[in-house]
């Protein structure tokens, strides 16, 4: 017979606070167990960056893997907390995924310098976004949004560029707007030869075809090192199925101009969307199925009382997912709690909380400390404005927290907001960075800080659950190891090891009995 634990409802405020269970629960005593819509070897609950790495690692070992995220995206541990400002330190990481997430985005500063030039186009501009009669919009040095500052061409277009004099060139850059109905797929630069023909000297492919650049254009840079020329042709091709192109500016640079731009460039943290896209790609590339906006609300067990699956809730209602092994990567071991397994109480100490504030003056708090982060961040304003670089302020507070419930955690959240508030803040953290969690009673507690490769994974396995691994600060790790886990690279390395362990546990393990449609909850 299949048994199902008490179903619990969670609230949106719990999710924003980073805990999985509300203070009050609503038992659905007569709720039938929903039929299984998916059966996997390894099920990962949680959409954090380390959860994604664990799912990917298990899939690379040949297991069928699914991941369930309570948010409408992946990477909440880095995005909701604004920890993406820390990621400039990981741009050279040995982990390919972390390196990809940490690459500095293209600077959104003002227009780069350019040689003076005139141009003609092989197509007339469309009336909706018309060029001037003397064809000057693409060289007017104004950077507006797509609605106010673009020239539209209804097809692939060749733009012939004439410089004031022959010059040594480094690159030609075209700034183009992008949406699902106007996309530049590629750009090619050719030089005019003595016989009037054109010879290709460089090209560039747009690698961000799924991105939107409406308030600010996307720069496509075609390198032309060592080229001396006066007359050039810039050829722009649309993506398949696209009918029009919207262009903003063209810049033709000498090596000295390019060097000036490079010197002025600042190292910028990655944007949240860059992180989310990289995590999405990691799952897709490794064949991991995943579902957004879904919350685990119950577990079901087989005749041996082993957990054989999870019931999730989302806009479609309740569904069951069967799994041989489950990785609980939720903030506070939601699955373990749903299984009725007790957790250790919080330590009676002050806990450290970090809040990042973007922009503003960074006033000194009544308690705690504030530090200006080494790297500023670029934030776009409304109507296509490019705001100046904004400072990043790191606030740290130590506050007591007796229990990890929604009331106490939100009180801490509000106190940290009050102490770090200023009237000129541009953006602020969605929730606090911390490592507060109720720890599990594991098979073997970790007692000292060790290298990730030497970490005994028994500290991640609840003693009462032989097919569950906990991948969060609820793992039974010593304080020094918990602190080490705040390092993003260390966190991902641990996620990789836990994913590989889950794959090993699933190998040869039989799938427990599955619920059938209409089977009811046991009392």
User: In which band, very low, low, confident or very high, does the pLDDT at 514 lie, cut at 50, 70 and 90?
Assistant: low
Q: Say what the pLDDT of residue 388 is.
A: 63
The CATH number of the structural domain formed by 3-103+273-344+438-506 is: 3.50.50.60
Q: Which residue has the tokens 């747009």?
A: 206
Q: Are 125 and 133 in contact (CB under 8 A)?
A: no
- pLDDT tens for 468-477 read 999 999 999 9
pLDDT of residue 217: 87
Task: Give residue 3's pLDDT band: very low, low, confident or very high (50, 70, 90).
Answer: very low
- Give the pLDDT confidence of 385-420 residue by residue, as tens digits: 445 678 999 999 999 998 888 899 999 999 999 999
Please give the pLDDT value at position 307: 92
Within the chain, all domains assigned CATH 2.60.120.260 are found at 117-264
3-state secondary structure of 505: helix
Q: Which residue has the higher pLDDT, 306 or 385?
A: 306
Q: What is the pLDDT averaged over residues 255-267?
A: 74
Beta strands in 289-424 (DSSP E): 289-291, 295-301, 307-314, 317-328, 350-359, 369-372, 392-400
Cα separation values, 56 from 35, 423, 499, Å: 26, 43, 7
- As a three-state string, the secondary structure of 447-482 is CCCCCHHHCCHHHHCECCCCCEEECCCCCCCCHHHH
Residue 429 pLDDT level (bands cut at 50, 70, 90): confident
Tokens of 145: 């949004």
pLDDT of 510 reads: 80
Q: Is the pLDDT of residue 508 over 50?
A: yes
What is the location of CATH 3.50.50.60 in the chain? 3-103+273-344+438-506
On the question of pLDDT at 367 being above 90, the answer is yes
Note the pLDDT of residue 321: 95
Does residue 14 surpass a pLDDT of 60? no
Rg (CA), the chain: 27
Task: With a cut of 60, say whether residue 452 has pLDDT above it.
Answer: yes
pLDDT at 446 over 50: yes
Mean pLDDT (whole number) for 310-331: 95
Mean pLDDT of the chain: 87
* Cα→Cα distances 119→23, 136, 371, Å: 67, 8, 49
pLDDT confidence of 166, banded at 50, 70, 90? Answer: very high
Lowest mean pLDDT among 146-160, 167-181, 376-390: 376-390
Inform me whether the pLDDT recorded for 347 exceeds 80: yes
**Per-residue confidence (pLDDT) for residue 1, from 0 to 100:** 32
- pTM to 2 decimal places: 0.72
Average pLDDT of span 24-40: 63
Q: Which residues of 254-284 are buried (b: 16+ CB within 10 A; e: fewer)?
A: beebbeebeeeeeebbbbbebbbbbbeebbe
Tokens representing 114 are 């350019």
Average pLDDT estimate for 434-444: 96
In sequence order, what are the residues at sequence separation of 6 or more whose Cβ sits closer than 8 angstroms to the Cβ of residue 484? 449, 490
Contact 501, 470 (CB under 8 A): no
> Per mean pLDDT, which range of 106-120, 173-187, 282-296, 337-351 is the poorest?
106-120
> Residue 106 has what pLDDT?
63
User: Taking each helix axis from N to C terminus, what angle separates 488-506 and 49-60, rounded to the nearest 10 degrees?
Assistant: 40
Token pair in block for residue 507:
């190998």
Q: Identify the pLDDT of residue 322.
A: 95
Q: Does 136 have pLDDT greater than 60?
A: yes
pLDDT of residue 497: 98
Q: Which pLDDT band holds residue 427 (cuts at 50, 70, 90)?
A: confident
What DSSP state is assigned to residue 484?
Answer: H
Would you state the pLDDT for residue 264?
Answer: 55
265-271: average pLDDT: 78
Domain 117-264 is of which CATH architecture?
Answer: Sandwich (2.60)
The pLDDT of residue 110 is 64
Mean pLDDT of 67-94: 95
Q: Which residue has the higher pLDDT, 228 or 1?
A: 228
pLDDT at 490 over 90: yes
Looking at the chain, the whole-number percentage of residues with pLDDT higher than 70 is: 88
Q: What is the pLDDT of residues 198-248, one digit of tens each?
A: 999 999 999 888 888 887 788 899 999 999 999 999 999 999 999 999 999
């Amino acid at each position: 017979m299949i048994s199902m634990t008490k179903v619990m409802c969670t609230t949106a405020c719990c999710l924003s606070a980073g805990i999985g269970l509300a203070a009050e629960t609503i038992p659905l005593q007569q709720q039938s167990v929903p039929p299984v819509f998916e059966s996997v070897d390894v099920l990962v609950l949680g959409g954090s960056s380390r959860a994604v790495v664990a799912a990917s690692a298990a899939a690379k070992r040949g297991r069928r893997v699914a991941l369930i995220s309570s948010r409408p995206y992946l990477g909440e541990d880095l995005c909701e907390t604004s920890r993406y400002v820390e990621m400039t330190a990981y741009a050279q990481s040995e982990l390919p995924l972390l390196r990809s997430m940490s690459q500095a985005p293209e600077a959104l500063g003002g227009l780069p310098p350019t040689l003076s030039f005139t141009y003609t186009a092989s197509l007339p501009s469309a009336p909706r976004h018309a060029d001037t009669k003397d064809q000057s919009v693409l060289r007017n040095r104004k950077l507006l949004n797509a609605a106010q500052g673009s020239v539209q061409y209804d097809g692939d277009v060749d733009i012939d560029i004439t410089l004031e004099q022959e010059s040594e060139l480094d690159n030609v850059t075209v700034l183009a707007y992008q949406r699902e109905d106007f996309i530049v797929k590629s750009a090619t630069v050719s030089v005019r030869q003595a016989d009037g023909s054109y010879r290709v000297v460089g090209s560039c492919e747009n690698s961000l075809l799924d991105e939107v650049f409406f308030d600010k254009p996307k720069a496509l840079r075609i390198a032309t090192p060592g080229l001396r020329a006066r007359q050039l042709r810039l050829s722009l091709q649309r993506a398949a199925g696209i009918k029009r192109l919207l262009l903003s500016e063209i810049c033709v640079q000498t090596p000295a101009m390019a060097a000036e731009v490079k010197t002025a460039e600042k190292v910028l943290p990655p944007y949240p969307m860059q992180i989310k896209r990289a995590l999405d790609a990691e799952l897709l590339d490794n064949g991991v199925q995943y579902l957004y906006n879904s919350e685990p609300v119950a577990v079901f067990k087989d005749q041996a009382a082993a957990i054989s699956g999870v019931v999730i809730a989302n806009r479609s209602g309740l569904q069951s997912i069967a799994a041989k092994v489950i990785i609980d990567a939720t903030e506070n071991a939601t699955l373990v709690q749903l299984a009725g397994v007790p957790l250790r109480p919080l330590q009676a100490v002050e806990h450290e909380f970090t809040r990042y504030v973007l922009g503003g003056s960074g006033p000194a708090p009544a308690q705690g400390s504030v530090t200006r982060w080494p790297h500023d961040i670029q934030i776009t304003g409304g109507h296509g404005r490019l705001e100046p670089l904004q400072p990043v302020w790191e606030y740290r507070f130590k506050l007591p927290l007796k229990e990890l419930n929604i009331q106490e955690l939100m009180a801490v959240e509000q106190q940290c907001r009050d102490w770090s508030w200023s009237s000129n803040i541009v953006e602020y953290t969605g929730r606090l960075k911390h490592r507060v969690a109720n720890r599990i009673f594991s098979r073997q507690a970790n007692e000292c800080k060790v290298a990730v490769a030497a970490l005994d994974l028994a500290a991640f396995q609840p003693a009462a659950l032989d097919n569950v691994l906990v991948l969060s600060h609820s793992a039974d790790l010593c304080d020094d190891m918990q602190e080490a886990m705040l390092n993003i690279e260390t966190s991902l390395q641990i996620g990789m090891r836990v994913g590989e362990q889950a794959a090993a546990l699933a190998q040869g393990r039989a799938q427990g009995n599955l619920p059938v449609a209409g089977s009811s909850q046991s009392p």
